Amino acid sequence: MQLKRPLAASFAAARTCSQEKGSQVIQVDIPEPVKSVLNVLESGGYEAYCVGGCVRDSLLGRVPEDWDAATSALPEETMALFPGRAFPTGLQHGTVTVREGSLRVEVTTFRTDGTYADSRHPDSVTFTRLLEDDLSRRDFTVNAMAVDLRDQLTDPFGGQADLREGILRCVGDPEKRFSEDALRILRCLRFSAALGFSVEAETARGLRSCRELLRGIAAERVQVELTKLLCGFAAAETLREFPEVVGTVLPELLPMVGFDQHSRYHCYDVWEHTLHALDAVPAEPVLRWAVLLHDAGKPACFTRDERGGHFYGHPAVSAQIADAILRRLKFDNATREAVTTLVLWHDRDIPRTEKGVRRALMKLGETRLRQLTEVKRADNLGQAPEFRTRLRELERGTQILDGLLTQNACFSLKQLAVSGRDLMELGFRGPEIGTALNRLLSAVVDGDLPNETAALLSAARAQDFLSV
Ligand code: ATP
Ligand code: MG
């Protein structure tokens, strides 16, 4: 098994302090409010631990996003220990949220999961007083560790060793665990991409063989996991290794895999090019989704002549594919529109002139234009080295953009020196107003009129203003 990034190993090793009577003492900086919750539970005579992702991240030297606590106390016993500040947020799963200072700590009773009829939800959960039972229901060894107030680590499945080696391994039989809950398949790929860990061989076999079960997972959950996967620093490596698994939820990607471009501009097939571009773009959801999908339409648009392969019209086809995928995964409209616009525009040339950049600004706005520059940059970095000549041009475009913004150049109706009201006073009515405003803006952006009230009103007064 190969380690994608050996960094994790050194962090884990550095954090291990000593070995005491077969159990390890480690150094975890549990935040004070969490400590105080664990303390109250222990004083009540129960066991209490930090568990799961926060232990994993602490051992890796990362700052955990949230701290989950697990306890032998039953939910009603936890509620009784925190009168007035405990809320039954997920009682059927044994979860009580405790308010402690400014923090909310989720406290979950040790539990084991019953059978799974639907690869999604356990049919029942059973509470238990044993920590090890609770750890055994967790997905991966690196997520199945607990630490108590005395920094005592409980690690029954070798999670620490796997962290050190950078390995994702199922707790128990991978096929059984993935068929119980198919979301674990995507969680596995997401952790692999985010932590740069490799997937242990049996676990990899298990997730491949269970991949069809992913079709039963709610779109919103697939969306969350895929976005986290794409934003991982090792996303390209994970996608390269498991295209058929990701292809179960994104079948539109599969035609790209191995698709020869027959083009001197490209040294990679469409999929490899996409992965190289993905590596080159900042890890931000809109950018990563746009780059993943920017060439998805290429296979359908392929033609070939004596000059080589062509993909005429592929940005529009890719944008349609992106739109369909993002709708299916129930993305919000803003994200969907941003991604599809970037995909549609990724191959358009934006002239490196003030006029060219002002026009692009008028159509896209500053945020989208800057994102487009990132997408184009990444796209170019994914091409054959001798054709990575676009980078200088893109830099020049950004300089012009920065210059225009410092000069407060006009590129939107908001900035135009006349308003709809001014035009109404001139006698414009209804839809004429919008048409006239857009015409004036176009003229200003093109440099044909100055953005000055008198000049704009006088242009609008011209008899043939709306007819030309
Ligand atoms: P992060 O919060 O960084 O996304 P995490 O590992 O903390 O990662 P959570 O979704 O917060 O993930 O879950 C907390 C813990 O609960 C996990 O570490 C794991 O032990 C367990 N867990 C979560 N989802 C599953 C699942 N589908 N199957 C089994 N165990 C799970
Ligand atoms: Mg978590």
- Give tens-digit pLDDT for 33-60: 999 999 999 999 999 999 999 999 999 9
C-beta pairs of 447-452 under 8 Å, 24+ apart in sequence: 447/354, 447/355, 447/358, 451/410, 451/415, 451/416, 451/417, 452/417
Give nearest CA residue, ligand 1 atom 15.
52
Q: Are strands 198-199 and 303-305 parallel, antiparallel or unpaired?
A: unpaired
Atom of ligand 1 nearest to the CA of 52: 18
Q: Is 177 in the pocket of ligand 1 (CB under 6 A)?
A: no
Q: Which helix (H) or strand (E) holds 31?
A: none
Q: What is the pLDDT of residue 17?
A: 45
380 Cα to the center of ligand 1, angstroms: 37
Q: Is 159 in the pocket of ligand 1 (CB under 6 A)?
A: no
Check whether residue 21 and residue 143 sit in a common domain: yes
For residue 399, the domain's CATH number is: 1.10.3210
DSSP string of 200-268, one letter each residue:
PHHHHHHHHHTGGGGGGS-HHHHHHHHHHHHTSTTHHHHHHH-HHHHHHH-GGGGGGTT-----TT-SS
Check whether residue 150 and residue 72 sit in a common domain: yes
Q: Is 138 in the pocket of ligand 1 (CB under 6 A)?
A: yes
Q: Is 64 in the pocket of ligand 1 (CB under 6 A)?
A: no
Cβ burial of 447 (10 Å; 0-12, 13-18, 19+) is exposed
Identity (one letter) of the amino acid at 191?
Answer: F
Q: Is 122 in the pocket of ligand 1 (CB under 6 A)?
A: no
* pLDDT one-digit tens code per residue, 131-178: 999 999 999 999 999 999 999 999 999 999 999 999 999 999 999 999
Q: Is 143 in the pocket of ligand 1 (CB under 6 A)?
A: yes
Task: Evaluate whether residue 7 is within a structural domain.
Answer: no
Check whether residue 40 and residue 163 sit in a common domain: yes
Q: With a cut of 70, which residues of the chain have pLDDT below it? A: 1-23, 468
Q: What is the pLDDT of residue 468?
A: 59
Contact 70, 134 (CB under 8 A): yes
Task: Evaluate whether residue 347 is within a structural domain.
Answer: yes
- Domain span at 265: 250-406
Check whether residue 396 and residue 315 sit in a common domain: yes
Q: What is the pLDDT of residue 378?
A: 97
- Rounded Cα–Cα distance for residues 1 and 204 (Å): 11
Check whether residue 258 and residue 118 sit in a common domain: no
20 Cα to the center of ligand 1, angstroms: 28
- Tell me the β-bridge partners of 100: 103
For residue 121, the domain's CATH number is: 3.30.460.10
376 Cα to the center of ligand 1, angstroms: 36
Give nearest CA residue, ligand 1 atom 11.
53
Q: What is the pLDDT of residue 4?
A: 55
Give nearest CA residue, ligand 1 atom 28.
139
Atom of ligand 1 nearest to the CA of 183: 27
- Rounded Cα–Cα distance for residues 450 and 468 (Å): 19
Task: Evaluate whether residue 161 is within a structural domain.
Answer: yes
For residue 178, the domain's CATH number is: 1.10.110.30
Q: Which helix (H) or strand (E) holds 465?
A: none
Q: What is the pLDDT of residue 229?
A: 98
DSSP string of 77-92, one letter each residue:
HHHHHSTTTEEEEEGG
Task: Evaluate whether residue 6 is within a structural domain.
Answer: no
Check whether residue 340 and residue 286 sit in a common domain: yes
DSSP string of 342-408, one letter each residue:
HHHHTT----SSHHHHHHHHHHHHHHHHHHHHHHHHHHHHTS-GGGTTHHHHHHHHHHHHHHHHHTT
Check whether residue 142 and residue 166 sit in a common domain: yes
Name the residue of 138, 181, 203, 226 whose CB sits within 8 Å of the most ligand 1 atoms, as the mutation to test its pocket: 138
Q: Which helix (H) or strand (E) holds 121?
A: none
Check whether residue 342 and residue 276 sit in a common domain: yes
Check whether residue 379 and residue 307 sit in a common domain: yes
Domain boundary among 230, 248, 266: 248
Task: Evaluate whether residue 332 is within a structural domain.
Answer: yes
Domain boundary among 221, 248, 275: 248
Task: Evaluate whether residue 53 is within a structural domain.
Answer: yes
Q: pTM higher than 0.85 for the full model? A: yes
Check whether residue 165 and residue 178 sit in a common domain: no
Tally of structural domains, the chain = 4
Check whether residue 266 and residue 365 sit in a common domain: yes
Q: Are strands 86-90 and 95-100 parallel, antiparallel or unpaired?
A: antiparallel
Q: What is the distance, to the nearest Å, from the Cα of residue 275 to the centroid of all Cα atoms in its chain?
A: 15
Check whether residue 101 and residue 21 sit in a common domain: yes
